[in-house]
Structure 1
Amino acid sequence: MIPPAFEYTRPADVGEAVRALADAGEEAKVLAGGQSLLPLLRLRLAFPELVVDVGRIPELRGIHEDGDTLAIGALTTHHDVLHDPLVRRHAGLLAAATATVADPAVRHRGTLGGSLAHADPAGDLPAVALALDAELVVTGPGGRRTIPAREFFVDYLQSALAPDELLVEVRIPKTDGWGFHYEKFQRVAQSWAVVGVAALVRRTDRGITEARIGLTNMGSTPLRAAAAERALSGADGPRAVARAAEAAAEGTRPAQDLSGSPEYREHLARVLTRRAVLTAAGMG
């Protein structure tokens, strides 16, 4: 289909982008890699009066260390995240999940910031950001502010970004020493996850001491499986992990669609959580 008509601007820096967004108000959309926005435009599910193309703002790209945190520019592509040695060393879960995003063509164009700002609960990376306790740095006419990932995702395709704000950086606490795994079930290769599970685990010889579980496509936003996280504390073997994973779907509200019923997704959440945690803990 052909997108509706819109005005287009390509700002040279963040300040110019914010001014364009402020002038347009709620009638503007940000274009980064285009892998989320362009399909919405073509399907006429979005009707912006202005598209603000931030794709050539160099200050929004790159990855660097900041103490115990990795700072990742919002415009950094999935390909660059996946292959960056700092991400592989200090945020392995992010690299593992990014490797499952769509296909190489999409990963070369799509961006970390664009994926998070799109706030699709079926996307892989929002649940990963939750599990990693990421922080998202946004800027607007009033300056910068930092939003914890747990507060960023508000509803289906809705984030805490104001209409005149731009996501500029994603801050990921280093998870050296944690086991990790991203497990997802999809109907066909390169499609959206029916359900996905992002698992981070710390363990000793006595068992799991801490677990974080992010759930993909189990509600109108990405979710943390809080009940399963609590149940996993102290789990000391595959049977204990399996029992704890039975709590993975508690508090979720999965949708009914062509990919499955809510009950089917709840079943998948339990199964995939068990698999992801066992692998992350080195028990699988």
Structure 2
Amino acid sequence: MKPAPFEYHAPRSLAEALQTLDDAGTGGKVLAGGQSLIPLLNMRLAAPAHLVDINRLDALAAVDVEAGGVRVGALARHAQVERSAPVAAAQPLLRRALRLVAHPVIRNRGTVVGSLAHADPAAELPAVLRLLGGSVRLARTGAVRDVPAAAFFTGPLESAIEPGELAVSAFFPAPPPRSGTAFHELARRHGDYALAGIAALVVLDDEGRIASATVAGVSLGPVPVLLDVTEALGGKPADSADWASAARAVRDGIDPEADIHATADYRRHLAGVLAERALRDAAREAADA
């Protein structure tokens, strides 16, 4: 199939892009990497009246390591962020997650912010942003707002982006002191969407006990699921923590859906297994920090 007819726009400045989106209203759609949008257009699952191509806005390709974390511009490709040593040093979870995103040819073109804007609960980056407490910066003519991850993802393939707005960047906070992260997922084939996935963040106190432990889930709900499992671990030292109890807390705290790839019970089981692995790995990294 081929896309439904649309009017193509190629703005040369951010101001022009925002004005074009404002004029287009609900009929506007943004093209950046296009790895999700183009298939939707071709299958006519999306039929915008106006397609706004932002690929000429070079300033949006910036990736900046700031004091509090990493800011990724709307045109920064997955591969660009994945290969950045400063980014990996500032926020290691980003590289770990990006290496699980599809295949290299997709990561060479797809964008980090585009993946967030697509808001697919089966994607890795929404879970990372939710776990880290990051945010997405949205701009429109005359206004800019930062939307925290907790409010940004509103449903499957739905976000807080309003007509006339452009997601110009995303901010991934740096890990707190004495913390560690990990990301585990299971897919039928490497590069496929995960049947289930878990990103974990563990923070230790000065005596090596677990101060906090949280996980975010992939393919476990309509939006990235965030669970605090600190209570299940009881403030124990990382080397003697009851990870099985944390896994049970994860299984009890989710309500996954069944589809042609996995039953809900199987996803719940996978979530527990992956949570135990990810939490243990994150705690090990925190102990070595």
Length-normalised TM-score, structure 2: 0.93
SS for the counterpart of 2:242 is helix
Which residue of structure 2 lines up, in the alignment, with residue 268 of structure 1? 270
Q: Please show how residues 232-271 of structure 1 align to structure 2 within 5 Å.
A: 232=233, 234-236=235-237, 237=239, 240-271=242-273
Gaps of 5+ in 1: none
**Residues in 2 aligned to 1:256 and 1:145: alpha-carbon distance in whole angstroms:** 36
CA contact (8 A) 1:182 1:276 kept: yes
**Residues in 1 aligned to 2:49 and 2:154: alpha-carbon distance in whole angstroms:** 24
Please point out which of 206, 210, 213 is paired with 1:211. Answer: 213
Shift of 1:111: 0.4
Which residue of structure 2 lines up, in the alignment, with residue 167 of structure 1? 167
Which residue of structure 2 lines up, in the alignment, with residue 37 of structure 1? 37
Which residue of structure 1 lines up, in the alignment, with residue 191 of structure 2? 190
CA deviation map 1:210-252 (0-9, x unaligned): 22211111111111023x2442351434651111121113343
Call closer, same or farther: CA 1:232–1:37 in 2, change over 3 Å: farther
**Residues in 1 aligned to 2:60 and 2:230: alpha-carbon distance in whole angstroms:** 34
Which residue of structure 2 lines up, in the alignment, with residue 96 of structure 1? 96
**Residues in 2 aligned to 1:5 and 1:249: alpha-carbon distance in whole angstroms:** 46
Which residue of structure 1 lines up, in the alignment, with residue 179 of structure 2? 178
Provide the alpha-carbon RMSD of the alignment.
1.7
**Residues in 1 aligned to 2:115 and 2:240: alpha-carbon distance in whole angstroms:** 34
Length-normalised TM-score, structure 1: 0.94
Aligned length: 283
1:64 and 2:64 correspond? yes
**Residues in 1 aligned to 2:234 and 2:102: alpha-carbon distance in whole angstroms:** 33
Farther off after superposition, 62-71 or 194-203: 62-71
**Residues in 1 aligned to 2:131 and 2:71: alpha-carbon distance in whole angstroms:** 17
Shift of 1:265: 0.8
**Residues in 2 aligned to 1:74 and 1:232: alpha-carbon distance in whole angstroms:** 38
CA deviation map 1:81-130 (0-9, x unaligned): 11112211111011110111011100100001000000000011000101
SS for the counterpart of 1:181 is strand
CA contact (8 A) 1:235 1:241 kept: no
Shift of 1:143: 0.7
Farther off after superposition, 228-237 or 145-154: 228-237
**Residues in 2 aligned to 1:206 and 1:233: alpha-carbon distance in whole angstroms:** 13
CA contact (8 A) 2:100 2:190 kept: no
Gaps of 5+ in 2: none
SS for the counterpart of 1:34 is coil
**Residues in 2 aligned to 1:93 and 1:6: alpha-carbon distance in whole angstroms:** 38
SS for the counterpart of 2:126 is helix
